Chain A
């Protein structure tokens, strides 16, 4: 631990030293040594970060025979997409010669669709409702505003596990177990709080003179919000939208407990079934993992700047 810190520090001191120290000592060798150290550390971090994921991708294109070879085949000799076609078409894969389609394989395509629908619905619902509420927090004056704001932040901190029992009974009574609507509503509670927080920050950074000018020109409040303010908050909307989608897409506990058939079962649940039902077929599990990771990973990389800004503005959801 200490070593990491020291090494990390050597790196950070570089900036100041380069300016002041380089002039004073002209230490060319030290500079070179430092940059070599930076590259070594960068490679270590890159490997640590990407190797497990890369191994999952490699395993997903390996044949069953290669997967269970000892020592492992780090690079597959005959890469194959058989598990991908099996999962996406819901058809059998002939590992054990039974030709039977196991439940998770058959469910995969539908679960993919369910995940998309629930995550998209959550995102849209939260962006709309959250932005409206954020506008109230940023622009209107009312009693208990500060307390309410804190309460909304605190609500976000409640662990899902403490809501599992009451939500289960509540959804059961409303007949919303195992349904798109139920899952969307449950996912929206946490996310809408997050959207309010981040968007209120964005709205505050926009000078209200712009709005005032629009309203002098005859716009109503909603018009000025829609036509003047909203376009300026696009980066915030993208960030919170991507985070909302990601959170809903990745959620497991509620999905595990509140869905039980294909009508609303999401991808994480089906992936968990792979692992418990037939633990030997790691190839299929890894393929499922890669497919389930693709949307959030692509989303994160495509919008990385926005997401970083959103994360540090909101700073709460992991």
Chain B
């Protein structure tokens, strides 16, 4: 399981068998670890610190000078209503997607955990949305939502649910919800698969014991299934929180943050500040804040799971 940090990782066991022509332990360690660590730290930790440095300067591609300006970039961000709008949009996106995707994910996982003919096919089919590129997902939904020839308009009109074709992405709130639908189609499979793995790790005896004790279906769901899914639930929660900051591709292609900034999530805001306004200082400031806070959240989360395991 994702959160299981095996005993040996903590470095309690080690072998001290001698061998001929061996590198010393220390040299071996360096040889094994150095390339990966160099790559990871060189291209994530260092850039993150570097962006903190940039964020303290006026760094715009429109001006050659890069004076030190302290926390001015941060102040400018916090003063921008657009920034706060993007925070709310992101927050809405995060909460709404969790509320929709977790119950749906658990429900479909419960279904896929039942024996029925065609289950293998369905389990494979679920991989399709997960595997396709996010950009492809975006253009696919762009075509489905198309106001003149799109499948959504066509279907609803044929079913008699709408009188005339609708311009789906013209209204801010509706556009955001439709982006959410498109995103859910793509990410739901991952949660289904993770919950399915969680379900399979719950011992069957628990269900049988509960049934013998006279627990009805609801009681078994509440007392056996959901507690059994708790570790996975925590992983999915943190995963989704982190992923919301990564929602970019679909916004970039489907709505360009519009209409009227209604779908400008924080990553798209950062992109606009950086590569449209060419203000690298401000972009770096938002980026650094997002990056550091996610890392902090992740570390806290791991520590939490870790200590929980030790108690268990």
Contacts and interface: CB of A to CB of B under 8 A. Distances in A.
* A and B interact: yes
Interface of A: 1, 4-5, 7-17, 19-21, 35, 38-39, 41-42, 45-46, 48-50, 52-53, 55-56, 59, 67-72, 129-130, 132-133, 135-142, 145-146, 148-155, 157-167, 169-170, 185-186, 188-190, 192-193, 196, 200-201, 204, 208, 211-212, 215-216, 218-221, 246, 249-250, 252-253, 256-257, 267-268, 271-272, 274-276, 282, 285-286, 288-289, 292-293, 296-297, 299-301, 304, 307-308, 311-316, 318
7 contacts: A145-B9, A157-B238, A158-B291, A165-B287, A285-B139, A293-B133, A300-B130
A68 B149 contact: yes
A14 B44 CA distance: 48
B271 A164 contact: yes
Interface string B55-78: 000000000000000000000000
B19 A159 contact: no
Contacts of A219: 19
A132 B30 CA distance: 10
Contact of A20 (B122, B123, B211): B211
A169 B54 contact: yes
Interface of B: 1-6, 8-11, 13-15, 17, 19-23, 25, 28-29, 31-33, 35-37, 39-40, 42-48, 50-51, 54, 99-100, 103-104, 106-108, 110-111, 113-114, 116, 118-119, 121-136, 138-144, 146, 148-149, 151, 154-155, 157-158, 165, 185, 187, 189-190, 193-194, 197, 199, 204, 207-208, 210-212, 216-218, 220-221, 225, 235, 238-239, 242-243, 245-246, 248-249, 252-253, 266-267, 270-271, 274-275, 280, 283-284, 286-292, 294-295, 297-299, 302-303, 306
A312 B28 CA distance: 30
A59 to B, nearest CB: 7
Contacts of B288: 162
Contacts of B129: 49, 52-53
A90 B115 CA distance: 47
Given A13-B220, A292-B136, A312-B194, 17 more contacts: A5-B106, A12-B114, A15-B114, A45-B126, A52-B144, A53-B128, A129-B39, A150-B303, A159-B290, A162-B286, A216-B17, A250-B134, A268-B135, A300-B128, A311-B193, A312-B2, A315-B239
Given A192-B40, A252-B249, A132 B207 contact: no
A282 B149 CA distance: 10
A66 B44 CA distance: 48
Contacts of B111: 8, 11, 38, 41-42, 45
A268 B267 CA distance: 18
A150 B110 contact: no
Contacts of A35: 116
Given A10-B217, A285-B143, A315-B1, A16 B47 contact: no
A151 B40 CA distance: 10
B9 A146 contact: yes
Given A55-B151, A163-B291, A150 B140 contact: no
Contact of A170 (B47, B99, B134, B220): B47
Nearest to B6: A204
B11 A296 contact: no
Contact of B107 (A7, A19, A138, A163): A7
Contacts of A293: 131-133, 136
Given A53-B140, A166-B284, A308-B197, A16 B220 contact: yes
B229 to A, nearest CB: 11
Contact of A8 (B45, B108, B157, B292): B108
A133 B51 CA distance: 27
Given A157-B298, A304-B124, A289 B136 contact: yes
B149 A212 contact: no
A221 to B, nearest CB: 6
A218 B155 CA distance: 70
Contact of B239 (A8, A151, A318): A318
Given A71-B157, A132-B35, A308-B193, A165 B122 contact: no
Contacts of A50: 125, 128
A267 B134 CA distance: 11
A315 B22 CA distance: 36
Given A13-B220, A140-B29, A150-B302, A157 B295 contact: yes
B132 A296 contact: yes
Contacts of A196: 36
Given A11-B111, A159-B294, A70 B154 contact: yes
Contacts of A256: 252
Nearest to B267: A161
B39 A189 contact: yes
A303 to B, nearest CB: 10
Given A42-B111, A311-B193, A299 B131 contact: yes
Given A163-B47, A301-B124, A141 B217 contact: no
Contacts of B131: 246, 293, 296-297, 299-301
A160 B44 CA distance: 9
A236 B253 CA distance: 35
A37 B45 CA distance: 51
Nearest to B120: A304
Given A5-B103, A267-B133, A136 B33 contact: yes
B309 to A, nearest CB: 13
Given A20-B208, A154-B299, A296-B133, A220 B21 contact: yes
B66 to A, nearest CB: 11
B190 A158 contact: no
